[in-house]
């Protein structure tokens, strides 16, 4: 099968569109329950089915899909460099404007909609990636491995310390705090924003010690892949993609099982921290398997329909990411129905699938009429510092 340049671009966009599904499935669980991420399960939804749904989300999606987005961010970094070179623009000022715009969008997202925002982290880490862009592939690869291994070891050491001297689990305090969080999120806009600001004060620590090092590692891997145009040459890299799938099955999946079991079945135990460490160490392998499997399938004749289905959502990933948060806020917060704490995990996942399916349809419809997603257009304006094309020229010609 011979792929055109547009097919290759659609393949990368389709992978980004696929990543949106995993991000939504994880984030909507955080919207749905104030107990998400705490040491105790939600007492209102703690049946075998509820735990099975949480286990499935933890196994296949948690800690894998933000890594996939991070990998694609690093990959797209090389596309940004080529775009700046083609336009004759100085790359560093252009990138700094882009990262500043991304940070402002992320900050707005974090304050108004979702304290678990990743865009502000990406904006800061993008500056680090810019500073590292001239290093050799070998140097970048060593740094990526160091970031993943050192982060996992640090959390493993913390877990061992907790096992040797278990902290006192204050169940009533945790339940009371979750109840207060639910009440705040069911309140008016001032209450909701106040709760976001409160939680941001602790989220920054988790981002800095957990997500940021792993995200930067995947930035670096994506930068290496972008330099070698690996995703743009799927037929030349089929052996690599198969190897990634095997590595994910034999290393990433067992590690994900350990992480999912400890985080769901042993959430109130210090062993959950050691399980987290195992997850940090092995999640990149399962993420790599997702990349390999998707690229192999998308490069096949049977995968063409999926590539065409996912690519528009991937091209508008920033807009779709914030739209997901907006929809979730309207469902679970006082901005809308205030259903936090009232929807079961299975119903929550079902809602996510419906939202994602609607986004696939909406993204295709939008790009038939417009050249960019709304936030992609805004970010491009900030990046190139001139007004980009808005209407889709092909659509305008048809009119």
Q: Pseudo-torsion of CA 143, 11, 322, 391, nearest 10°?
A: 130
How many other C-beta atoms lie within 10 A of the C-beta of residue 365? Answer: 11
Length in residues, the chain = 399
Tell the burial category of 343 from Cβ atoms under 10 Å away from its Cβ (0-12, 13-18, 19+). Answer: buried
Angle value at C-alpha 69, between 22 and 240, nearest 5 degrees? 100
- The low-confidence residues of the chain, meaning pLDDT below 70, are 1-8, 393-399
**Residue 193 CB neighbours (<10 A):** 15
The set of residues, in sequence order, having a beta carbon less than 8 Å from that of 278 and lying 6+ positions away, is 152, 156, 255, 258, 259, 262
- The closest of 196, 227, 203 to 80, measured between CA atoms, is 227
CA 73 to chain centre: 10
CB 3 within 8 A of CB 234: yes
- Rounded-to-integer distance, Cα 392 and Cα 389, Å: 8
CA distance 9 to 15: 10
Query: How many CB atoms sit inside 10 A of residue 361's CB?
Result: 12
Residue 37 exposure: Cα atoms within 13 Å on the Cβ side: 18
Q: Which residues, including other chains, have CB under 8 Å from residue 326's CB and lie 6 or more apart?
A: 113
The residue range of the domain holding 146 is: 5-398
270 three-state secondary structure: coil
Q: How far apart are CA 116 and CA 213, in angstroms?
A: 16
Q: Which of 283, 284, 242 is nearest to 263 (CA)?
A: 283
391 three-class SS: strand
CB neighbour list of residue 277: distance below 8 Å, 6 or more residues apart: 152, 153, 155, 156, 158, 159
Distance CA(202)–CA(333), nearest Å, equals 20
Distance CA 142, CA 297 (A): 30
Compute the distance between CA of residue 106 and CA of residue 124 in angstroms, rounded to an integer: 11
Measured CA distances, 92 to 37, 129, 137, 384 (Å)? 38, 11, 20, 12
The predicted model scores a pTM of 0.92
Task: Tell me what pLDDT residue 6 has.
Answer: 53
The conformational region for residue 296 under phi > 0 = left, psi -120 to 50 = alpha, else beta, is alpha
Work out the angle between the directed axes of helices 345-367 and 48-60 (0-180°, nearest 10).
Answer: 40
Number of domains comprising the chain: 1
Nearest to 314 by CA among 22, 17, 24, 79: 17
């Amino acid at each position: 099968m011979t792929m055109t340049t547009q097919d290759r671009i659609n393949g990368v966009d389709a992978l980004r569109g696929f990543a949106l599904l995993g991000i939504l499935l994880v984030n909507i669980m955080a919207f749905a329950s104030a107990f998400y991420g705490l040491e105790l399960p939600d007492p209102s939804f703690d049946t075998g089915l509820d735990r099975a749904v949480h286990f499935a989300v933890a196994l296949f999606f948690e800690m894998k899909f933000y890594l996939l987005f991070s990998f694609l961010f690093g990959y797209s970094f090389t596309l940004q460099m080529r775009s700046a070179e083609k336009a004759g623009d100085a790359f560093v000022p252009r990138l700094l404007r882009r990262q500043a715009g991304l940070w402002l969008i992320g900050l707005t997202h974090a304050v108004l909609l979702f304290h678990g925002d990743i865009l502000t982290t990406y904006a800061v880490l993008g500056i680090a990636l810019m500073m590292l862009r001239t290093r050799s592939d070998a140097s970048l690869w060593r740094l990526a491995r160091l970031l993943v291994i050192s982060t996992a070891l640090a959390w493993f050491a913390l877990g061992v310390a907790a096992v040797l001297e278990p902290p006192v689990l204050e169940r009533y305090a945790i339940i009371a705090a979750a109840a207060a969080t639910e009440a705040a999120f069911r309140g008016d806009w001032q209450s909701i924003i106040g709760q976001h600001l409160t939680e941001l004060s602790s989220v920054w620590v988790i981002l800095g010690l957990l997500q940021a090092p792993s995200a930067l590692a995947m930035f670096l891997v994506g930068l290496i892949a972008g330099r070698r145009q690996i995703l743009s040459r799927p037929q030349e890299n089929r052996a690599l993609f198969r190897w990634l799938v095997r590595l994910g099955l034999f290393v990433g999946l067992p590690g994900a099982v350990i992480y999912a079991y400890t985080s769901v079945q042993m959430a109130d135990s210090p062993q959950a921290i050691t399980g987290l460490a195992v997850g940090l160490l092995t999640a990149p392998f399962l993420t790599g398997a997702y990349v390999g499997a998707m690229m192999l399938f998308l490069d096949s004749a049977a995968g063409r329909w999926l590539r065409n289905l996912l690519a528009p959502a991937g091209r508008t990933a920033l807009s779709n990411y914030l739209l997901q948060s907006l929809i979730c806020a309207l469902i679970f917060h006082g901005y809308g129905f205030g259903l936090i704490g009232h929807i079961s995990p299975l119903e929550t996942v079902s809602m996510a699938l419906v939202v994602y399916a609607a986004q696939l349809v909406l993204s295709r419809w939008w790009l038939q009429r417009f050249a960019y997603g709304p936030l992609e257009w805004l970010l491009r304006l900030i990046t190139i510092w001139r007004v980009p094309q808005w209407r889709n020229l092909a659509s305008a010609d048809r009119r």
